[in-house]
């Protein structure tokens, strides 16, 4: 029979309750004993975060400021209000419903240790007070249950705390040892523990009460990171309305959208350094609006068509269709040529090649040795007989040409003859086209050759040649390259009244819209002044160079990546500010990672309560330094 043991957990600096939600999902079993996790409550100074905690953790949280008065003044720069008072250990008791938890989970404020904060600012009084809040919160918790200590304590933070917050960690370690805890520091990746679609490396401090907990704490099983598309692909597209106000695309500055579009997928802002920028502008690219939605679009056979417009053409919308009926379509034999060894198509009333397969590839180009129509353009030898005389009278209709061997000395032998420059001419006779009355004159290259300016074009800035009686371009240099090419068109020219390539001012009215309105046949372009300024905030869709839409995650997508919700769910957080939502989501511990941590801690507690001090496991002991720290009785060190 299965026995159920309840394991309670409590959360300091609980935020919106991601860690608490994950611990509630924790699973642990040893033999026939299984664990059931229950949250006792949480503490945070942000009322909106506590409102979220109440929904996600399923129990009431407490709004409580854990600052000392000195820390409050250092952080806020002013005295606290009159009703404010310092928290005590009794307040911690009440926040947990006056019960004692078995596990306390802390995710203390980490801004002072974050790499996003400069080293100089991290050392200011404001952030030192925020760092000191962690130590004070742990001290209040230890005092609250010093008579019956908490078995396990988990402190989670950014990895940089191990270096930037070294002095603070040393003080926390000393304080925990003073209260009887063995302590170890390590790191983990929330993405690997929870099987998330993000890599989230975090610092982890694990403390066990040496008298209550046996030496071994096993490492949670690591899982493969998932692709971000596995999560986002299950969600509706941003801005569709189905995801609610948290699933809207953030409004960014125009220059930010442009930069995002040019960042290479898988890279960051450093890929922008490869772009050529001249005088603050991209030299190799021009950003223009998309050329008509659905330009040259092809509809699938099984989808609906868009609205039918007055000019439904392929170039102004998706007005083409991928018709699968190729084989069964009528007249698929248009211009078909039937092979000589194939059967003919059905004989129809059509008589032309366009009506069916009414053409044939006839291989019979010869009749024996006689080629059909071989006399087309045939030239008969002088000594051969002529072919039969038919009604045809041109070379293409038969052998109506002859190879005449009669040399120039014979009659008409010099008709259209061109005499060489170095040869004598034939006898001069009265006819002007029946002899060698042409000469091959080599003097065309002489600078002073007659008419060497035939068809010459005189440049605008040169002087003209001598004006002669000729008035034609072939009679001399009577053409000029006139640079005055401006279109000074007059009445009657259709370009004047047609408005070809016309651009309408933004403040003017348009002409009547015709059924064939196009940019090149009228005034169908507009001078749109609404190009966003660099700092204008808007939502746009710019197609990147890789053909995708580079956009920021929506707030809902960030929550899904943090495993706060399943992709198919809709999340509602307190307030109306995307900035506040994102801050609380970013500060949250991923529930799936917290569930993995709760599982191994629950197993450790069940082993301790059953009297077992060792168990074989397929998972390793949680990082060797942790194993050493949890297995060695350490000397007590005063705070």
Report, in angstroms and rounded to the nearest whole number, the Rg of the chain calculated over CA atoms: 46
Residues 272 and 230 placed together within one structural domain of the fold:
no
Q: 487: which 2 tokens?
A: 């279109």
How far, in Å, are 18, 61, 377, 593, 621 from residue 596 at the CA level? Answer: 13, 23, 93, 5, 14
Among 199-203, 281-285, 468-472, 507-511, which is the least confidently predicted range?
468-472
Q: 192: which 2 tokens?
A: 């690997």
Give the structural domain span for 41. 3-235+561-631
Q: What is the DSSP string of 11-75?
A: EES-TTSHHHHHHHT---EETTEEEEEEEEEEEES-HHHHHHHHHHHSS--EE-----HHHHHHH
pLDDT of residue 626: 36
Q: Give dist(CA 257, CA 255) in Å, integer.
A: 5
pLDDT of residue 488: 57
With respect to residue 15, please indicate whether it lies within any of the assigned structural domains.
yes
With respect to residue 47, please indicate whether it lies within any of the assigned structural domains.
yes
Residue 186: pLDDT band with limits 50, 70, 90? confident
Residue 627: pLDDT band with limits 50, 70, 90? very low
Query: Does 629 score more than 70 pLDDT?
Result: no
Residues 39 and 170 placed together within one structural domain of the fold:
yes
Query: Does 65 score more than 70 pLDDT?
Result: yes
Percent of the chain with pLDDT over 90: 25
Secondary structure class of 434 (helix, strand, coil): coil
Query: Of 139, 127, 216, 126, which is closest to residue 165 (Cα–Cα)?
Result: 127
Residue pLDDT, tens place only, 304-359:
666 565 556 665 667 677 766 544 444 566 667 777 777 776 666 565 666 666 67
Residues 118 and 264 placed together within one structural domain of the fold:
no
With respect to residue 141, please indicate whether it lies within any of the assigned structural domains.
yes
Q: Which of 554, 583, 607 is the last residue of a domain?
A: 554
Residues 197 and 272 placed together within one structural domain of the fold:
no
Rounded to an integer, the average pLDDT of 511-518 is 74
pLDDT of residue 151: 94
Residues 126 and 259 placed together within one structural domain of the fold:
no
How far, in Å, are 84, 128, 134 from residue 67 at the CA level? Answer: 10, 12, 9
Q: 453: which 2 tokens?
A: 């300016």
Q: What is the DSSP string of 216-276?
A: --BPPPP-PPPPHHHHHTTSPPTTSSTT-GGGSPP-EEHHHHHHHHHSPTT--GGGGGGS-
Q: Give dist(CA 272, CA 260) in Å, integer.
A: 9
Residues 67 and 13 placed together within one structural domain of the fold:
yes
**Element holding 624 (H helix, E strand):** helix 624-631
Looking at every residue in the chain, the average pLDDT score rounds to 78
Which of 26-40, 151-165, 443-457 is modeled with the greatest confidence? 26-40
Residues 194 and 133 placed together within one structural domain of the fold:
yes
Rounded to an integer, the average pLDDT of 212-216 is 74
Domain count, the chain: 2
Query: Does 52 score more than 90 pLDDT?
Result: yes
Percent of the chain with pLDDT over 70: 72
Here the CATH number for the domain that contains residue 40 is 3.40.50.150
Which residues are within 8 A (CB) of 136 and not within 5 positions of it... i.e. 6 or more apart?
Answer: 66, 67, 68, 71
Residue 450: pLDDT band with limits 50, 70, 90? low
Query: Does 164 score more than 80 pLDDT?
Result: yes
With respect to residue 163, please indicate whether it lies within any of the assigned structural domains.
yes
**Element holding 626 (H helix, E strand):** helix 624-631
Helix 125-144 with 166-178: angle, nearest 10 deg: 10
Residues 215 and 117 placed together within one structural domain of the fold:
yes
Residues 220 and 158 placed together within one structural domain of the fold:
yes
Query: Of 60, 589, 16, 547, which is closest to residue 246 (Cα–Cα)?
Result: 16
pLDDT of residue 630: 39
Q: Which DSSP state fits 134?
A: H
- For residues 35 and 5, the answer to whether their CB atoms sit within 8 Å is yes
**Apex CA 455: angle with CA 450 and CA 456, to 5°?**
85
Residues 549 and 585 placed together within one structural domain of the fold:
no
Which residues are within 8 A (CB) of 379 and not within 5 positions of it... i.e. 6 or more apart?
Answer: 399, 401, 402, 403
Q: 443: which 2 tokens?
A: 């003097």
Query: Of 79, 76, 95, 75, which is closest to residue 87 (Cα–Cα)?
Result: 95
Residues 544 and 622 placed together within one structural domain of the fold:
no
With respect to residue 406, please indicate whether it lies within any of the assigned structural domains.
no
pLDDT of residue 457: 82
pLDDT of residue 639: 39
Q: Which of 554, 588, 614 is the last residue of a domain?
A: 554
Q: Which of 526, 554, 582 is the last residue of a domain?
A: 554
Query: Does 618 score more than 60 pLDDT?
Result: no
With respect to residue 456, please indicate whether it lies within any of the assigned structural domains.
no
How far, in Å, are 256, 272, 371, 545 from residue 277 at the CA level? Answer: 16, 10, 71, 17
- For residues 301 and 321, the answer to whether their CB atoms sit within 8 Å is yes
Q: Give dist(CA 140, CA 553) in Å, integer.
A: 38
Which residues are within 8 A (CB) of 558 and not within 5 positions of it... i.e. 6 or more apart?
Answer: 582, 585, 586
Residues 565 and 547 placed together within one structural domain of the fold:
no
pLDDT of residue 507: 84
Residue 582: pLDDT band with limits 50, 70, 90? confident
Secondary structure class of 317 (helix, strand, coil): coil
pLDDT of residue 327: 46
pLDDT of residue 321: 73
Q: 228: which 2 tokens?
A: 């971000």
Torsion over CA: 589, 593, 595, 597 (sign):
negative
Which residues are within 8 A (CB) of 622 and not within 5 positions of it... i.e. 6 or more apart?
Answer: 186, 206, 217, 218, 219, 220, 600
Query: Does 485 score more than 80 pLDDT?
Result: no
Residue 436: pLDDT band with limits 50, 70, 90? low
Residue pLDDT, tens place only, 2-22:
899 999 999 999 999 999 999
Which residues are within 8 A (CB) of 467 and not within 5 positions of it... i.e. 6 or more apart?
Answer: none
Output 623 or 453, whichever has higher pLDDT.
Answer: 453
Q: 329: which 2 tokens?
A: 């379509």
Q: Which residues pair with 29 in a beta bridge?
A: 34
- For residues 156 and 202, the answer to whether their CB atoms sit within 8 Å is yes
**Element holding 432 (H helix, E strand):** none
**Apex CA 77: angle with CA 69 and CA 135, to 5°?**
45
Q: Give dist(CA 140, CA 387) in Å, integer.
A: 125
With respect to residue 432, please indicate whether it lies within any of the assigned structural domains.
no
Q: Which residues pair with 631 in a beta bridge?
A: none
Q: Give dist(CA 623, CA 629) in Å, integer.
A: 10
Residue 36: pLDDT band with limits 50, 70, 90? very high
With respect to residue 336, please indicate whether it lies within any of the assigned structural domains.
no
Tokens 């024996």, located at residue: 368
Supply the pTM of this predicted model. Answer: 0.61
């Amino acid at each position: 029979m299965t026995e159920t043991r309840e394991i309670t957990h409590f959360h300091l600096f609980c935020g919106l309750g991601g860690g608490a939600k994950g611990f509630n999902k924790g699973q642990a079993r040893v033999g026939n004993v299984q664990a059931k996790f229950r949250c006792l409550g949480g503490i945070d100074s942000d009322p909106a975060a506590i409102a979220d905690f109440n929904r996600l953790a399923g129990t009431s949280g407490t709004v409580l400021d854990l600052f000392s008065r000195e820390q409050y003044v250092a952080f806020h720069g002013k005295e606290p209000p009159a009703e404010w008072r310092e928290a005590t250990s009794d307040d911690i008791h009440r926040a947990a419903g006056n019960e004692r938890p078995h596990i306390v989970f802390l995710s203390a404020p980490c801004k002072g240790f974050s790499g996003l904060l400069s080293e100089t600012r991290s050392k200011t009084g404001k952030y030192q007070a925020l760092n000191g809040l962690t130590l004070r919160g742990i001290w209040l918790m230890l005092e609250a249950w010093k008579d019956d200590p908490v078995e396990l304590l988990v402190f989670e933070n950014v990895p940089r705390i191990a270096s930037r917050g070294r002095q603070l960690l040393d003080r926390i370690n000393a304080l925990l040892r003073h209260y009887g805890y063995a302590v170890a520091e390590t790191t983990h990746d929330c993405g690997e523990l929870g099987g998330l679609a993000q890599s989230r490396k975090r610092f982890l401090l694990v403390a066990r009460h040496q008298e209550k907990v046996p030496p071994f704490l096993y490492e949670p099983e690591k899982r493969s990171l998932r692709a971000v598309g596995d999560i986002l692909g299950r969600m509706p597209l941003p801005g569709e309305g189905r995801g609610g106000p948290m699933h809207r695309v953030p409004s960014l500055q125009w220059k930010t959208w442009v930069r995002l579009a040019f960042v290479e997928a898988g890279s960051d802002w450093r890929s922008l350094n490869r772009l050529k920028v001249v005088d603050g502008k991209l030299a190799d690219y021009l950003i223009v609006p998309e050329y008509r939605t659905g330009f040259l679009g092809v509809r699938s056979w099984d989808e609906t068509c868009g609205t039918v417009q007055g000019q439904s053409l392929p170039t102004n919308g998706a007005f083409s269709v991928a018709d699968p009926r190729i084989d069964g379509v009528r007249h698929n034999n248009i211009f078909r040529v039937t092979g000589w060894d194939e059967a003919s198509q059905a004989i129809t009333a059509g008589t032309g090649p366009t009506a069916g397969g009414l053409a044939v590839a006839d291989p019979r180009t010869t009749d024996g040795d006689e080629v059909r129509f071989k006399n087309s353009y045939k030239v008969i030898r002088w000594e051969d007989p002529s072919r039969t005389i038919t009604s045809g009278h041109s070379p293409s209709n038969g052998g109506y040409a002859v190879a005449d061997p009669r040399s120039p000395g014979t009659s008409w032998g010099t008709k259209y003859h061109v005499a060489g420059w170095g040869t004598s001419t034939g006898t001069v006779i009265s006819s002007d086209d029946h002899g060698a009355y042409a000469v091959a004159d080599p003097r065309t290259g002489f600078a002073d050759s007659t008419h060497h300016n035939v068809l010459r074009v005189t440049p605008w800035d040169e002087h003209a040649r001598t004006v002669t009686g000729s008035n034609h371009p072939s009679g001399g240099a009577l053409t000029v390259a006139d640079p005055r090419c401006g279109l000074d068109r007059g009445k009657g020219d259709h370009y004047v009244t047609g408005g070809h390539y016309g651009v309408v001012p933004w403040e003017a009215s348009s002409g009547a819209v015709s059924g064939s309105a196009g940019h090149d046949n009228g005034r169908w372009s507009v001078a749109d002044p609404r190009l966003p300024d660099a700092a204008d905030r808007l939502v746009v869709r710019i197609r990147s160079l890789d053909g995708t839409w580079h956009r920021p995650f929506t707030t809902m997508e960030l929550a899904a990546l943090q495993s706060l919700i399943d992709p198919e769910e809709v999340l509602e957080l307190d307030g109306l500010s995307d900035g506040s939502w994102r801050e609380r989501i970013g500060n949250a511990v991923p529930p799936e990672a917290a569930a993995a941590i709760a599982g191994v801690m629950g197993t450790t507690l069940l082993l301790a309560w059953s009297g077992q001090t060792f168990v074989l496991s397929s998972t390793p002991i949680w990082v060797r330094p942790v194993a050493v720290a949890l297995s060695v009785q350490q000397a007590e060190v005063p705070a």
